């Protein structure tokens, strides 16, 4: 072989090895939620078939086994897990539990160090170590989310030194499984998605007017009758009520064994499951099973999504002692099943009209000197708190539990904005912030003309603006917050994913990252990177942030003009009024309000990036523009 050819080949190989680490440093570091501190180093680490996982401590070994499973499927490497020793740990991923590490930052704190020889994650306990592993997974290419080995892939981790810890201890997502039942396997999958972004509370809304989802030994009819309703499709609240003789075939429930399996799965991933048994309102499924718990006799049916509020009694009778005997039995089994310190009792949107007419409720009010039905609900919640305390549990309720007087030890989950949480905190109560203006994931996330049917608007930008600690409130009283996914308009598991992501990423960052580390433009760049992870993992996510925002504006002559904007920067907006579809050859919006040409019936709009379409086309009728004046659409 020509000596010059050999020399050049050797130099190419040498150049590759010299520059390999520098090349790896160009890998994008797109961690969500953004860590407290990230320092990039000069040496990258490449995982190969000889890499091992070395652990120190029993908790570390369990997490090491989980990491090995994470890595083996996509890499094909067996990744042995070994106890730490004094020998050389080169080409290893070390997981170390050190009780003295960052104790002041809590159990979620960790340090992740990557250099050319090894990876090391240090934490004071299991949760922090587990979160360090989640960060490590985000430093690997998106193909890590695949389920089949990826050949010819460089499993290179950029050199970093990350110090990180959580801002809040309560970082939750709520999933409503009452309106539509979601399978046990999906709940596990949802937990897997949550923990990648360091959520640690899974609030499961188990009961409501549309279904009772947990089997209890003392009350078998709760699931025999309460877990099923007549099947309906279409727009929620437009459905026909159950018809005479129509079979209730739509629904489902979790057995205790199912729930134990889910709880164990969550516990292994440092997620606490908080069950919600909604009372006194939203109780039609329970009343269908046990009609004697209502204020009036009636032929009760689990509601399929038809309008009934105020027309059918869906609140448990507060004057009937059997109601509290029933709830004591329910919460006895719930407390035995769920290890969570907290149990959520609902307390929201209770229609109290039937209480005003109920002789038993009126007698209860007279006996206890209660002036109105608001105070009767307070009496109800305080009795629930006593029931839970007797079982070693603490009560959480929606902010309506403030009405009529707050139970002494109650924790308030503030959903109607933050006012309820502020009021509770000023009284010295602990608060979890879940304001609908920032955390209701069941709302539209893009233009209603192209999004699945729901109500109101919550764009990604609004979620990212979520700040859980109001000005003037003691931060120690704010446990944290969560995003809530109500399921009236979420009939499938894939749609639940679509409504959660990427807005769930914004919730995660609001609850984990330091306030001064949050940056909208940087977040958007990281979200785009994580779309690739979602695709590899077959997670259905929304790309609504790319779509145009179409607003109506009235001028001094009372004519309606059109304003076009985008959520994210760097997009071009093209539009047409002539019924043709917009392309880069169509007029480009320049920031000036648009006059609607005479005779035009609609404006068609689409966003582009670098000359390529990126958002969806929106066809907005001109007659709809007036309804968009001053709105968030």
Q: Which residues contact 504 (CB under 8 A, 6 or more apart)?
A: 173, 193, 194, 197, 199, 441, 483
CB atoms within 10 A of CB 53: 23
Closest alpha carbon to 502 in 101, 57, 193: 193
**Cα distance between residue 534 and residue 344, in whole Å:** 31
Find the catalytic residue in 224, 292, 341, 349.
Answer: 349
Contact (Cβ atoms closer than 8 angstroms) between residue 289 and residue 224: yes
Query: Hey, what are 612's tokens?
Result: 């390529």
DSSP 238: B
Query: Hey, what are 567's tokens?
Result: 């959520």
Can you spell out the DSSP letters for 135-159?
HHHHHS-GGGG-SS--TT---EE--
Sign of CA dihedral 621, 624, 626, 631: negative
Q: What 3-state class would DSSP assign to 336?
A: helix
**Cα distance between residue 456 and residue 169, in whole Å:** 30
208 is catalytic: yes
Torsion angle, CA of 575/579/584/586, rounded to 10 degrees?
-70
Which residues, in sequence order, are bridge partners of residue 618?
A: 605
Region for 237 from its dihedrals, namely left if φ exceeds 0, alpha if ψ lies in -120 to 50, beta otherwise: left
Angle at alpha carbon of residue 89, lines to 71 and 37, rounded to 5°: 70
Which residue has 């050819």 as its token pair? 5
Q: Which residues contact 22 (CB under 8 A, 6 or more apart)?
A: 42
Find the catalytic residue in 59, 107, 164, 208.
Answer: 208
**Cα distance between residue 25 and residue 281, in whole Å:** 56
205 is catalytic: no
Contact (Cβ atoms closer than 8 angstroms) between residue 190 and residue 261: no
By DSSP bridging, strand 342-346 and strand 394-398 are parallel
Query: Hey, what are 390's tokens?
Result: 């007797």
Long-range contacts of 470-474 (CB under 8 A, 24+ apart): 470/418, 470/421, 470/422, 470/425, 473/422, 473/425, 473/426, 474/425
Query: Hey, what are 475's tokens?
Result: 């931060």
Q: What 3-state class would DSSP assign to 422?
A: helix
Can you spell out the DSSP letters for 507-526?
HHHHHHS-GGG--HHHHHHH
65 is catalytic: no
Query: Hey, what are 559's tokens?
Result: 């004519």
Find the catalytic residue in 180, 203, 205, 282.
Answer: 282
Catalytic residues, which ones? 208, 282, 349
């Amino acid at each position: 072989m020509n000596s010059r050819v050999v020399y050049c080949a050797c130099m190419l190989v040498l150049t590759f090895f010299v520059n390999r680490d520098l090349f790896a440093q160009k890998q994008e570091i797109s961690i969500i939620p953004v860590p407290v501190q990230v320092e990039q180093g000069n040496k990258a680490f490449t995982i190969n078939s000889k890499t091992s996982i070395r652990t120190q401590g029993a908790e570390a070994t369990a997490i090491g086994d989980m990491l090995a499973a994470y890595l083996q499927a996509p890499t094909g490497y067996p990744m042995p897990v070994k106890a730490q020793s004094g020998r050389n740990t080169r080409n290893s991923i070390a997981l170390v539990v050190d009780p003295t590490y960052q104790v002041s930052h809590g159990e979620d704190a960790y340090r992740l160090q990557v250099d050319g020889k090894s990876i090391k994650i240090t934490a004071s306990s299991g949760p922090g170590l587990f979160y360090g592993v989640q960060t490590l997974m985000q430093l690997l290419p998106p193909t890590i989310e695949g389920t089949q080995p990826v050949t010819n892939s460089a499993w290179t981790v950029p050199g970093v030194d990350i110090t990180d810890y959580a801002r809040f201890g309560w970082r939750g997502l709520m999933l409503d499984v009452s309106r539509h039942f979601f399978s046990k396997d999906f709940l596990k999958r949802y937990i897997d998605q949550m923990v990648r972004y360091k959520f640690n509370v899974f609030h499961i809304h188990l009961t409501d007017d549309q279904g009772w989802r947990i089997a209890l030994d003392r009350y078998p009819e709760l699931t025999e009758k309460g877990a099923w309703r007549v099947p309906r499709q279409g727009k929620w609240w437009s459905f026909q009520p159950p018809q005479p003789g129509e079979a209730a075939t739509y629904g489902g429930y979790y057995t205790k064994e199912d729930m134990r399996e889910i709880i164990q799965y969550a516990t292994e991933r440092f997620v606490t499951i908080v069950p919600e048994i909604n009372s006194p309102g939203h109780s039609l499924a329970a009343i269908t099973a046990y009609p004697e718990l209502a204020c009036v006799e009636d032929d009760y049916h689990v509601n399929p999504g038809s309008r009934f509020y105020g027309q059918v009694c869906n609140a448990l009778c507060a004057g009937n002692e059997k109601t509290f005997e029933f709830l004591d039995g329910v919460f006895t089994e719930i407390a035995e099943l769920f290890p969570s310190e907290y149990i959520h009792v609902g307390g929201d949107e209770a229609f109290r009209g039937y209480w005003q007419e109920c002789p038993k409720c009126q007698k209860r009010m007279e006996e206890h000197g209660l002036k109105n039905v608001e105070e009767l609900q307070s009496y109800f919640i305080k009795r629930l708190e006593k029931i839970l305390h007797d079982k070693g549990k603490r009560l959480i309720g929606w902010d309506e539990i403030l009405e009529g007087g707050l139970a002494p030890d109650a924790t308030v989950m503030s959903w109607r904005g933050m006012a309820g949480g502020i009021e509770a905190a000023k009284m010295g109560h602990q608060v979890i912030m879940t304001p609908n203006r920032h955390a209701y994931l069941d709302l539209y996330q893009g233009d209603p003309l192209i999004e699945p049917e729901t109500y109101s608007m919550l764009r990604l930008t609004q979620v990212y603006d979520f700040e859980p600690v109001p000005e003037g409130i003691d931060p120690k009283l704010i446990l944290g917050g969560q995003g809530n996914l109500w399921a009236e308009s979420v009939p499938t598991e894939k749609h639940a994913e679509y409504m959660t992501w990427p807005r769930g990423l914004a919730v995660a960052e609001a609850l984990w990252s330091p306030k001064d580390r949050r940056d909208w433009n940087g977040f958007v760049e990281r979200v785009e990177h994580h779309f690739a992870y979602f695709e590899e993992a077959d997670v259905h996510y929304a790309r609504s942030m790319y779509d145009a925002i179409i607003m109506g504006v009235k001028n001094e002559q009372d004519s309606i003009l059109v304003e076009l904007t985008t959520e994210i920067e760097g997009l071009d907006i093209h539009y047409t009024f002539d019924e043709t579809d917009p392309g880069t050859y169509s007029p480009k919006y320049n920031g000036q309000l648009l006059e609607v040409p005479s005779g035009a019936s609609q404006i068609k709009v689409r966003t582009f990036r670098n000359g390529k379409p990126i958002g969806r086309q929106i066809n907005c009728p001109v007659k709809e523009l007036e309804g968009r004046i001053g709105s968030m659409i």
